[in-house]
Structure 1
Amino acid sequence: MIKFDKKAMQKFNEIPDDLKSQILSNVYCSNCQATVKIIDFTATLESGDLILNGKCEKCGGKVVRLLEMSLTEHIYSPN
């Protein structure tokens, strides 16, 4: 299940789908000691950055992904 607060949803929806897919599949799991896909995540917006809290697709352990939006918006910005 994916849960977002309203502002986090707006920010997440600004990211192109292909980039979202890359982001969600590029999360480090300390249990697996590998890059994994995040599942069953929630998203919040703090200080302009998106924080994804969820589970590792492989082991079910807790994983977190920080998206520093101020540093990455130029990658997908239409301007």
Structure 2
Amino acid sequence: MINELKSPRKWQHYPEPLVEGLSKAVSAISRTVEKPIQYAGPGEWSVFDRPQRYSTLSSSTVAVPGTHQRDRCLVIPLGFS
């Protein structure tokens, strides 16, 4: 099912309520996963920078295989342990 929903071409054949529900679920999961990153350390965004689209990051950033230009990425600073 996950592979089916990864293809925008295949989404055209699904009912609109399913597509809307999936979109809302993905957004909610993204916001939930972001919270511990946002509040890590003594203040908001004090340990990591706010996630950004891969397309806006510098060319020196190395992406995880399979990353797309539109994906939001958390940059882990070099030497972070």
TM normalised by structure 1 equals 0.30
Q: Which has the larger radius of gyration?
A: 2
Q: Please report the TM-score for the alignment, with normalisation by the length of structure 2.
A: 0.29
Higher relative contact order (CA 8 A, sep 6+): 1
**If each structure's strand is expressed as a fraction of its own residues, which one has the higher value?**
1
